[in-house]
Structure 1
Amino acid sequence: MTTNWSRKRALVVALCLVMIVVPLSLDGLDYRSFGGFPAVGFAVALVVYLGPRWLWWTLLVETVVIGAALTRTYEVSPVFGVAGSITVTGPALLVWYLLTRGDRQFEISTQSGERRLIVASAAGALLCGSLGGVFALAEVSPRDALLTGLMSFLSSLAAQLAVLPVLDRASRVASGTRTELIAQWTILLTIVALVLMPQTDLPMLFLIPAVLSWGANRGSPRSAHQQLLVVSILAYLLTFLGRGPLAQAGDGVQDVSGPILLYLFLVASAYVTILISGSVARLQRVTDKATRSASTMERIFESAHRTLIITSDADGRITRFNRGAELMLGYRADEVLGRRANMFYPKYEAGKQARRLGLPGDDFRSLATRMAASREPWDWQMVGKGKRKVRVSLSLTSVTDDDGRIVGFLGVGEDTTDRHAANEALRLALANEHASVLKLREVDRVKQELVSNVSHELRTPITSIIGYVELLHDGTLGDLPSEQRQVVARIARNGHRLIRLVEDLLTLSQVEAGALVLQRAPTDLGAVVRAVCLLLETQLLTRSVELVMDVPDSPVTLLADAHEVERVLVNLVGNSIKFTPDGGRIEVTLRDEEKAALITVSDTGIGIPLEEQDQLFSRFFRASSATDNAIQGSGLGLSIAHAIVTAHEGTIEVDSEPGRGTTMRVCLPREGGAVADEPLVSQ
C-alpha cells in the first residue's frame, strides 16, 4: 500500500517506534519491576494515530519490532519474544477499539471522551497484566509470574495515561498569560530536578502534581498533557537510575516497592492532570457558549427598535429597558432602571386589567403573575414621558429560578396606537355605513311599495282605457272616419305598451321582494318558441327583417312556468327585432341536450359594447347603442328575463360585438315530465 505521507506523520511514527523499542532494549531491566515503560503507551498511541486504514500494518510492524527487542533484552527464544509482543499489541488493539469504536475521532476534552479514556486504558492495562503473567509462567515461578502481571498492569496503565492524552485535539486556548505559562514550565522542571535527582524525602514528591494541576488549569490541554508526558518519562528514568525518593523506598525491597510507588505516582498525576484539564476545557466551552448567547441576546435586545422589551424583578423594579422601549415611551434607560414598572400605567388601567383577570387587587406581582400564566397578549394603555399615552399589546413571561420560584418578569410589547386609531375610525365608518344601509333599505322598501301600489292603481284605468279604445276601433260605438281610426289604433298600441310597462314594474317589484312564484308544469318549450315567434311576426310585417325558427319536431319537455318563459322569449326576440336594421336576420333555435334545454336568439343587429355587457342585466340599464340610435325601451326587459331564468335555476349569457350582432343563450335545466295538453302561451 502506498500513500502520501507528510513529514510530520513520518516523524511521529518514527518517534513512537523508537519509544517502543528503546525501553524494551535497555540492559539491566527487570520485567518484574521497571521493564516496558512507556512502550505500551506509545504502541497504543501509534495505532490510534494512524487509524483504521493502517491498523493491521501497524500491529504487524509493532509485533516484529517488540518481538526482536524482547528476544535480545531478555535472551529468550524468538517464539517467546513474539508471544511476549502480544502483551503489547493485544492491549493496543483493544484500547484503539474502545477509544474510537472503529471510526470515532479520539477526543478526551468531553465527558464521554474522558470516560472512554479511563475505561479503555484500564481495560488495556488489565489485558496487558493478564497476558504478561500468563506468558511469564513459562519462564519463572508462579510468584514471579504474579508479580510480573502486576507490574505489567501498573506500567501499562501509567504509560497509556501519560502518552495517549498528547493525541487529544482539544482546541481550548490557555487562560494564563504567556509569562505565567513560561514561569509554570520553569517551576515544574525545577521542582522535578530538585525532587527526583537528589535523595529527597518521599513527601516532597507531591509538589509535582500541584504544579501539574496549575498547568492543567491555566494552560492549554496540549501543554498540560505534554507536561504530564515529560514528567512521567523523567520520573521513570531518574528512578530507574537510582535517583529520587522512589529509588530508596521499601528498605531493601527496591525491586518491588519502588516501581509500584512510581507507577501509582504517575497514575495519580495523570488522573489529576487529565480531569482538571478536561473540566476546565468543558467549563470554558460552556462559558464561551453562554457568552456568545448572552452577546446574541444583547444584540437582539438592543436591535429591536420597534419592540418594547422590559425586564423587572418580582416586585416590579425595572432591570432592563431596551432601545425599543426608549423610542416607544420616550424615557432613557438610565432614567427608569431601578424604578417600579407602575410608572408606565395609570391606576385606573391597572384596576381595569385586574377586573378582567378576576383579581381582587391590582398589585404588580399578582397582576403580572396572572398575565404571564395566561400566555396571551394584553392590550394596555401605557403612559410615556410627558404624559403621552401609548397603546401597547403586551405579553408577559415569568422568570423562575431552579426551584421554580418567580424572580422576575419579561415584558415584550408592540405599539398599537395607530392600529387602535385606525380600528376606531373603521368602527365609526362601519357604524355610519350600517346606518346608511338601513336608510337605503327603508328607502328601497318605500320605493317598492310605491311602485307596486302605483302599478296596481294604473293597471285598472289603463285596462279600461284600452277596452274603450278597442270598442271605438271595432266600430261598436259607431263607424269612425279613416283618419280617426288611425289615431285610435295609435292610442291602442301605446296603451298596450303602457300595460306591458306596468306588468314589468309589478314583476320587478316581486323579484326584488323575493315574491316571484313560478307555476311550474310539464311544458313543451318547442310550442312556447313557436307561439312567441308567431306572436312577434306581426311586428315584422312592415319591416324587411328575416325571422328564422329552428325547433325540433319532437317535444322538448321540462318543468317550467310557461307564461314566464314566454315573457323571457318575448323580451329577447323583441329586443332583436328592435335592434336589427332592415335587411338583417334573426334566428331562434331550440336544442334538446342531455341535462338541459338550450334556447339561442341571435341577430345581426347593432350589437352591444363589450365594456357595457356586464351591466346588461341591471334594472333600468340601457346600452349606449340603444340611446345613440333613439330606440325606445324601459331597461327592464333583460333584468326581468334574467330573474325569471335564475328562478328556473338556469343561466342566461350574452355574446355581442358592436356592428356584428348579438347572441343570447338561455340554458334551462331539464327535468322529466309529460307534455302539457295546452302550453300556457299567449296567442
Structure 2
Amino acid sequence: MLNEGGFVNINESEVSILGYGNVFYKMFVNSPNIVLLADEDGKLILANRMFYRIVKDEIVDKNIFDIFNFNKDEITTHLKKNEELFIEKFIYNKYGKELWLKIHFYLVKHKERRFLTAILNDITDIVEMTRRIDDDEMMLSNILNGVEDFICMTDLGGTITYLNSSAERILGFKKEEMIGKKLSEYFHQDELEEAKKEFQNLLDGKGVIDKRKFRLLNSNGEYIWFEFIHSSLIEENNVKVGTILICREITEKIRMEHENKKIAQELEYERLKSEFLANVSHELKTPLNVIYGIVQLMEMFKNKNETTEFVNNFDKFFPILKQNTYRLLRLTNNIVDLTKADAGFLTLNAENVDIVYLVEEICNSTRNYLSSKNIELIFNTEVEEKVIACDTNKIERVILNLLSNAVKFSNNNGRIEVDIREIPGKVQLTISDNGIGIPKEMLNEVFDRFKLVDTTLTRENEGSGIGLSLVKEFIDLHAGTIEVESTVGLGTKFIITLPDITLEDESAASYSEKNYLEQVHVEFSDLSK
C-alpha cells in the first residue's frame, strides 16, 4: 500500500511469512513487459528478461535516466508530488529498430530506502497502426479534397460533419462556417421540401438521392445548381450514424441546356414563322386570284361590248367576289391585330354589356349558315341577364372564331353547344362541338402563334393558323382565361372565363342583329366552298 510520501511500503516479514517473495520474483522476471528497478538516483539494480531481449545486453553501471535519455530532475520532482508518471518514449532497440514505449514510473520505499520502479509497455504496433490510420485518413482526405465534386457528410439529423475542399471552393464558404449547420439551410426554398423528403427516404432505406437536381446557396447569396450523383448511409457496427452525399455542380450545364433550348425555340419559331408567311401568302393569293379573275372577265365583257353577258353573269360572280373580299378582310384584320399585339398596341375598348344578350345574338346571327351545313346550334344559359365590362368587338370576334372552328371540324349533322353560367367572381362561357377532336399531344399548341394544330386535319379547310392565337390575345386583354379540352373522335370544348366586373357610371349597351351578320360573313368566309 502507499504511505504518506507516495511510496510503496514492503513489509519483509509479511513477504517471507506468506511465502510471496519467490512468487513476486518470478512475476518480475517473466513479465511480458520490461520491468526495471533502480535506486533513487536511477542506477539500475534489477531488470527482467524482456529488457535484455529488447533494449540492452549489458547494464553494468547503467543509469535508467541515461539509458532512455530522461530528465532526472523532472521525473523525480513529479514523482514526489504525484504517485506515478506515464511517459511515451521513442527509442531504438538493440537491433536498431524503432521502438515506442509507454513507461509507467512510481517510487517504492523499503527499509527507509527509496527505489524507482519502471514498467515499460511496447506500444510500437499501436503507434504504427495509429500512424497507418492517420496516413490512410490523410490519403483519403487528399483524395476527397482532390475530387472536383462536392462531397458532404452529415449525421442522421442532417447536420454537416464533413466537407471536402471542392465544397468550400464551389460555395465560397469556409468549411468551419458550414460544419455544424443543417444542410437544409443551404437549399433553395423551391426544392427544400423535396430535399427533406429525399433525405428521409434515404434514412428509411426507401431509395437514394441520385440524379436529383437541387440548388444550394453560395457565399454571394446566389444559388448554384447541383446534381446528386451518389448518396449512401454511413454505418458503424451495423448502426446507421450518418450519410455521405456526392454532388456535381451543373450550373454551366443548366445554362447551356437553357441556351440550347432557347436557340432551338428560336429556330422553331423562325421555321413556324416561315411556314406562316408561306401560308399567309397562299391565303392572300387565293382570294386575290379569284377577284382578279372576275375583274379580267368584267374587263373582257366590256372590251367586247358584251354588256348583256356581264349582266347575265352578275348574280353568279358577285357572291364569289364578295366572299373572297370577306376572306381578304378577315386575314388583313388578323394580321393587323397580330402586329398590334406584338408591338403592345392592342387596346381594350371596354363598356358595360349584357354578355348573355351579346353572345345569344351572335349565335342567332349564325343559325341560317349553320342550318345550311346541317349543323345544330344549341344555346344554354343559367342566367337571363349579366352585365360585365368587355370589348364587344373583340368578344364578337372570339365567339365567331370559335364557332367557325367548330363548324370547320364538325361532321355533317353535327352539334355545337354554347353555354353561359356564373361562377364566383366570373362569367364562364363554353363552346363545344362533337367534331373530329384534337389529339392530346397537340392541345398545348392550339394557341401558339403561327401554329396549325394538324395539317392533316385542316387540309380541306383554309386557315392561316393565327385565329386561335388572337382569340387568346383578346381574352388575355380582358384579364380572362381560355382553356381547351378535346378527345379525338368525340369533339372539342373551349372554356372562357371573364371577370365579373363593370365600369362605373356606364349603362349596358344594346346592339342590333345586323351588326353581327356582316362580321359573320367575314369570320366564316373561309368556310364556304
TM-score normalised by the chain length of structure 1: 0.38
Richer in strand (by share): 2
Q: Which has the higher contact order (CA 8 A, sep 6+)?
A: 2
